[in-house]
Amino acid sequence: MVPKESSDLDPIAILSDFGYRDHYAGVMKGVIASIAPAAQVIDITHGIPAQQIAAGALILSQSWRFFPPRTIFLAVVDPGVGTDRLPIAIETRAGARLVGPDNGLLAPVAHAAGIEQIVELRNPEYRLPAASSTFHGRDIFAPAAAWIARGVPPDTLGPRIDSIEELDLAAGVMHAAHTLAGRVIYVDTYGNLVTNLSRQQVQAFAEGVEHDSLWVRVGGSPAFKVGGTYAEVAVGGSLALFGSFEMLEIAVRDGDAAAVFKAGIGAPVIIEKAEHGKKKRH
């Protein structure tokens, strides 16, 4: 296949934990522009917390459906860079292509979109010369995404492989008769604590009990209710609700839940039914 040269290129959407201070994200976009200057490049975010693969996977899984079907998602949250973890590209039945490290980051979207094929990014013709051991985003992943945008079939970039590293965002969720336990997996700009407890898991736990009969604690905090909107509590009040992630998140109205609860990624979150949690309420 002759690579595309026209402006009719598939867009590239980038997600990383590189932040906005250093040059890393900009250099990746420079590499893409050198190979596929007509490709539209869209930043999803470069604010994923450093080395937090689950947070990156969550944000990617919340984003991909809102892009054109043939978008190439270039995702780099890669604490294992330079090790034997593989650099990969995935074609999906939904049309999206995924490029990044095989460390679980791509797995939730790959399965949601349907895996068509997986390749290891091994062909040196589609890398930068002398790939470093610390910046595969620049040397391997950005070139691969750009060449795919140009129309190069992913299996030209390297051999097919049969499986990917899995990542279960619900890992560690514990369901007992009166309690449901999870953890914080992401903290957004507003300080909201997004947990790995999905609406479906909470509904199954509640077994018909109204949300306002469920009480939530973060770590050893006092218990507060599950609600529907921020307006259900007074300014400064705490509540849990299902936001756009469709995951339970902890919020403080007009405040910062992460600061109030002194909690971050990994903090335990417990949901209790009213009759079990009433002695702990404040």
- pLDDT of amino acid 212: 63
Helices then strands, each counted (H, E), the chain: 8, 15
Tell me which residue has tokens 């259900």. 232
What are the structure tokens assigned to 130, written together?
A: 């002398």
- pLDDT of amino acid 107: 97
What structural domains does the chain harbor? 12-161 (3.40.50.10790), 174-280 (2.40.30.90)
pLDDT truncated to tens, each residue of the chain (282 aa)?
445 555 589 999 999 999 999 999 999 999 999 999 999 999 999 999 999 999 999 999 999 999 999 999 999 999 999 999 999 999 999 999 999 999 999 999 999 999 999 999 999 999 999 889 999 999 999 999 999 999 999 999 999 999 999 998 888 788 887 899 999 999 999 999 999 999 999 988 887 666 668 899 998 898 998 888 888 899 999 999 998 889 999 999 999 999 999 999 999 999 998 765 444 444
- pLDDT of amino acid 279: 44
State the alpha helices, DSSP H only, in the chain: 24-35, 53-63, 107-113, 136, 142-149, 199-206, 257-260, 274-277
Beta carbons within 10 angstroms of residue 177's beta carbon: 7
Cα torsion angle, 11, 29, 47, 163, sign: positive
Residue among 117, 113, 114, 146 at smallest CA distance from 14: 146
Half-sphere exposure (CA, 13 Å, Cβ side) for 5?
Answer: 1
Q: Classify residue 274 by burial, with Cβ atoms within 10 Å: 0-12, 13-18, 19+.
A: middle
Residue among 164, 160, 132, 139 at smallest CA distance from 57: 164
Nearest 5°: CA angle at 60, between 265 and 5? 145
Cβ-Cβ contacts under 8 Å for 268 (sequence gap 6 or more): 181, 182, 183, 218, 219
